[in-house]
Amino acid sequence: MITSSILLAITTFAYLLCALLYLSGVIFHRRTIMLWGSVTGAATLAIQMAGIILRWWESYQIGYGHAPLSNLYESLVFAAWAIMLIYLIMEYRTKQRALGVFPSLFAFLAMAYASFSTGVNSKIQPLLPALKSNWLIAHVVTCFLGYAAFAVSFGISIFYIVRQSRQEPSGGAHSLLPDLRQLDELNYQMVLFGFLWLSLGIITGSVWADLAWGAYWSWDPKETWSLITWLIYAALLHARTVKGWRGNRVAWLSIIGFCCVLFTYFGVNFLLGGLHSYANMK
């Protein structure tokens, strides 16, 4: 019998294959290999979506009946799915397959950590009382779509910095990447997209907090670091729009912003605790 665990285990190794195909295509300058990376990524995304839906159905079968977005394992699975979804849509629009190296790698690392870490419990669990709200889905989905867009932006920023700092002969790996202007524009688009979703995530989270704990904002560590992350990306967009920042400065701000995203998600959860901590609900 096929279960969500089997489908999500397949997803983990399929994302590894996807990342290796993208990376091999870039290293050996083979667009055909990168095309297979795209095909593998799309197929894996579909398998993962089936696994997420099946896990949702399984939760109803055992009497819990909630969306698979409530603990560390489920959030990592959704993060991997969101990263690849956003990247593949961007790839479809731009036809720039070399950019798939980082998103597919991030998706694999998220799934690998969820699957193999002893600190992550993959069992379906009942919801805590504060999580029994439809705002849970709205809050988690909006935040993670923002995080996923920032992950794609991080990869684009790395490519921008590497391409600008190195000169290669015609026909080298750089020929597979968009030019610097295109990379900068794609980076901006991903940051703007992520910023809008993160803003919605903070708003829905505030409404949910008021319903669950009686206050829209309590300066919980997760709330505080979400605000810090929001301010960094707001500063990036302001600097680009008003001050005309382009290129390296935007790329580095994007990298700093994504480091804050990672700390907001992992650092706060395991180091600072608080109402949002997964440390007590693995």
Mean pLDDT, rounded, for 224-236: 95
Could you tell me the two tokens for 70?
């409530």
Residue 85 domain flag: no
Low-confidence winner among 33-42, 108-117, 208-217, 260-269 (lowest mean pLDDT): 208-217
| Mean pLDDT within 125-129 | 83
Mean pLDDT of the chain: 90
Domain housing 136: 130-282
Q: Look at residue 221 and tell me whether its pLDDT is greater than 60.
A: yes
Residue 280: per-residue pLDDT:
46
Domain match, 101 and 213 both: no
Q: pLDDT value at position 26?
A: 93
Q: What is the pLDDT of residues 240-256, one digit of tens each?
A: 999 889 989 999 999 99
Residue 27 burial (10 A CB sphere; 0-12, 13-18, 19+): exposed
In this predicted structure, what is the pLDDT of residue 88?
98
User: Residue 81: inside a domain, yes or no?
Assistant: no
Are 116 and 240 contained in the same domain? no
Is residue 168 over pLDDT 60? Answer: no
What is the DSSP track for 23-60? HHHHHTT-HHHHHHHHHHHHHHHHHHHHHHHHHHHHHH
pLDDT over threshold 90, residue 150: yes
pTM of the prediction? 0.93
Q: Are residues 55 and 149 both part of a single domain?
A: no
- Contact partners, residue 255, CB within 8 Å, separation at least 6: 154, 157, 158
H helices of 166-267, where? 180-213, 221-241, 248-262
Say if residue 198's pLDDT is above 60: yes
Distance CA 142, CA 183 (A): 25
Structure tokens at 221: 């560590």
Predicted pLDDT of residue 132? 80
Q: How far apart are CA 67 and CA 57, in angstroms?
A: 9
Q: Are residues 136 and 111 in the same domain?
A: no
Q: Which helix or strand (DSSP H or E) is residue 148 part of?
A: helix 135-165
Are 162 and 256 within one domain?
yes
How many separate domains does the chain show? 2
Does 143 lie in the same domain as 25?
Answer: no
In a domain, 91, yes or no: no
pLDDT of residue 281: 45
198 in any annotated domain: yes
**How many Å apart are CA 84 and CA 11, to the nearest integer?**
12
- Would you say residue 114 has pLDDT above 50? yes
Residue 80 token pair: 């991997």
- Residue 282 pLDDT: 44
Select the more confidently predicted residue: 201 or 277: 201
- 137 and 261 together in one domain: yes
Residues 139 and 270 in one domain: yes
Q: Is residue 44 part of a domain?
A: yes
Same domain? For 3 and 134 the reply is no
pLDDT of residue 211: 83
The answer to whether residue 267 scores a pLDDT higher than 70 is: yes
Classify 117 as helix, strand or coil: coil
pLDDT grade for 279, boundaries at 50, 70 and 90: very low
pLDDT of 60 over the 90 cut: yes
